[in-house]
């Protein structure tokens, strides 16, 4: 990847709302040149979208947890991600190596909500779970470094 495109990506990863004018100032390109480069990066799928960074506690989702899941019956199809897709509390689903098959990152309002979510995950996907509750988050969703 060309260094100018990499610089644009670093800037957008830190501030997805950065204007084309400000991107141009930071990269030494004209506004129209930056606009063309960003559109090309989007068309190639390098930039897949823009997202607001939320204060999850302020929107009522103050409890973050990681849930490792493992199929109860390994002879059954490995379709847990599809079975769980409809659960909005699941922010991310990672396929992982190790004893468990998947690691879910979830956000819920309370421990009671987590308990209910765990019961639903077990029932819907026919899996066993192992949970870790996050006490503090020092950083996440960090921008790409330079």
Q: What is the pLDDT of residue 73?
A: 87
Strand-pair partners of 132: 66
Does residue 27 sit in the same domain as residue 96?
no
Does residue 38 sit in the same domain as residue 64?
no
Does residue 25 sit in the same domain as residue 61?
no
- The residue segments making up the domain with residue 27 are 3-44
Residues in contact with 115: Cβ distance below 8 Å, sequence separation at least 6, in sequence order:
none
Does residue 65 sit in the same domain as residue 126?
yes
Does residue 64 sit in the same domain as residue 34?
no
State how far the Cα of 19 lies from the Cα of 29, in Å rounded to an integer.
13
81 assigned to some structural domain? yes
Full-model pTM: 0.81
Does residue 36 sit in the same domain as residue 102?
no
State how far the Cα of 44 lies from the Cα of 17, in Å rounded to an integer.
20
Q: What is the pLDDT of residue 94?
A: 97
Does residue 77 sit in the same domain as residue 15?
no
Say which CATH number the domain at 18 has: 1.10.10.10
Does residue 15 sit in the same domain as residue 70?
no
Say which CATH number the domain at 86 has: 3.30.70.920
Q: Are 85 and 77 in contact (CB under 8 A)?
A: no
Residue matched to tokens 């689903």? 93
Q: How does DSSP assign 20-64, residue by residue? A: HHHHHHHHT--HHHHHHHHHHHHHTTSS----PPP-TTTTT--EE
Mean pLDDT across 116-145: 93
Model confidence pLDDT, tens digit, residues 20-29: 999 999 999 9
97 assigned to some structural domain? yes
**Number of structural domains the chain divides into:** 2
Closest CA to 46 of 78, 76, 6, 85: 6
HSE-CB at 57 with a 13 A cutoff on CA atoms is 4
121 assigned to some structural domain? yes
């Amino acid at each position: 990847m060309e260094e100018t495109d990499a610089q644009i990506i670093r800037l957008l990863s830190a501030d997805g709302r950065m204007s084309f004018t400000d991107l141009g100032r930071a990269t030494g390109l004209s506004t129209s040149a930056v606009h063309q480069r960003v559109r090309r990066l989007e068309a190639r799928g390098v930039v897949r979208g823009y997202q607001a960074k939320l204060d999850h506690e302020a929107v009522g989702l103050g409890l973050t947890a990681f849930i490792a899941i493992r199929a109860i019956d390994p002879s059954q199809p490995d379709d847990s991600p599809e079975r769980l897709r409809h659960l909005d509390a699941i922010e991310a689903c990672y396929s992982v190596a190790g004893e468990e098959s998947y690691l879910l990152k979830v956000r819920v309002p309370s421990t009671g909500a987590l308990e209910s979510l765990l019961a639903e995950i077990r029932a819907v996907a026919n899996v066993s779970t192992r949970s870790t509750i996050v006490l503090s988050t020092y950083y996440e969703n960090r921008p790409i470094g330079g």
